[in-house]
Amino acid sequence: MTYKDQLNRRIQLDRVPKRIVSLVPSQTELLVDLGLKSSIVGVTKFCVHPRSLRKEVEVVGGTKHVKVQKIKDLQPDIILCNKEENSREIIESLKDLAPIHISDIYNLEDCYELIDMYGKLFSVENHATEIVQEIIRKKSDFQIKRKNGIKPKVAYFIWKNPWMVSASHTFIDSMILEAGFENVFKELKRYPEIDLNHPSLQKADAIFLSSEPYPFKEEHVIELKSKFPEKKIIIVDGELFSWYGSRLKHSFPYFETLLK
């Protein structure tokens, strides 16, 4: 069978893959929720959901650095990657080991497409449809409650030293909009470094400090509060803004709480 990934690359499979290596945490969790836990043979050290999984299968490195020989020894039928999280060098180093499926996510529609792709790849179409429908339902419920609501302006920080924010052309930016907020850095692209004197920061009603990839803590809230005493400084759940896949089921109830 011939399949395509989200980069429109063709993937040839002789059978449904039974030995899966996943190099993307959110996709690992999606596999488990699709009922494929027993097929996962390798994950990254950042695949923290479900928390027990890293004790049950081989950890093959991180998302940026992998142990190629360890993956080879696992004899995978397929390797799951992501364009943003895994480098071109990683893809090149693994291309002769097994077919590689690469995701490319910028918005919810891309997420739905990926879940549907996995449903077909692993012959779990019904589970995939159920997950997509649940996300859509929770999004719809949230939108009904948010109808005609104002959009607070926010800055979303992902890193410190240097300070970096999520701007346009990112999945986080699309989720900021889905959550009912306006990104004050929407005129910039990707993950720019910024100075705390950047004029766009003055427009923000609130500053979001993501719980990942940089582990912002209360000390950072205090630090920014001293510079921006009139703004709300909030540590937000980065997984619910940046993880695609089945974790999106939890995002919209969280956004409702956050807006309050």
pLDDT tens for each residue of 237-257: 999 999 999 999 999 999 999
Residue 80: count other Cβ atoms within 10 Å of its Cβ: 27
CATH of domain 2-125: 3.40.50.1980
Examine the pLDDT at 219 and tell me if it is beyond 80.
Answer: yes
The arithmetic mean of pLDDT across residues 190-207, rounded, is 96
pLDDT band with cut points at 50, 70 and 90 for residue 80? very high
pLDDT band with cut points at 50, 70 and 90 for residue 206? very high
The arithmetic mean of pLDDT across residues 60-74, rounded, is 96
Same fold, 2-125 and 153-259: yes
Strand order in the sheet with 78-82: 58-59, 40-43, 20-22, 78-82, 100-103
Fold of 153-259: Rossmann fold (3.40.50)
pLDDT value for 51: 92
Examine the pLDDT at 83 and tell me if it is beyond 90.
Answer: yes
Integer Cα distance of 37 and 230 in angstroms: 47
pLDDT value for 202: 93
pLDDT value for 198: 96
* Phi and psi angles of residue 175, each rounded to the nearest 5 degrees, phi first: -75, -30
pLDDT value for 259: 87
pLDDT band with cut points at 50, 70 and 90 for residue 134? very high
Query: Quick one: tokens of 150?
Result: 């104002």
Q: What is the mean pLDDT of the chain?
A: 96
- Domain segments of the chain as ranges: 2-125, 153-259
Chain centroid to Cα 121, Å, comes to 20
Examine the pLDDT at 149 and tell me if it is beyond 90.
Answer: no
In Å, what is the CA distance from 5 to each residue of 35, 41, 90, 103?
Answer: 21, 21, 17, 6
pLDDT value for 145: 86
**Residue 203 per-residue DSSP state:** G
Integer Cα distance of 171 and 157 in angstroms: 14
Examine the pLDDT at 111 and tell me if it is beyond 90.
Answer: yes
Residue 147: count other Cβ atoms within 10 Å of its Cβ: 6
Show the DSSP H helices in 51-163 as ranges: 53-56, 68-73, 88-94, 108-121, 125-146
Question: 151 CB contacts (<8 Å, ≥6 apart)?
Answer: 180, 181, 182
CB 111 within 8 A of CB 248: yes
Helix (H) or strand (E) holding 252: helix 248-259
Examine the pLDDT at 46 and tell me if it is beyond 90.
Answer: yes
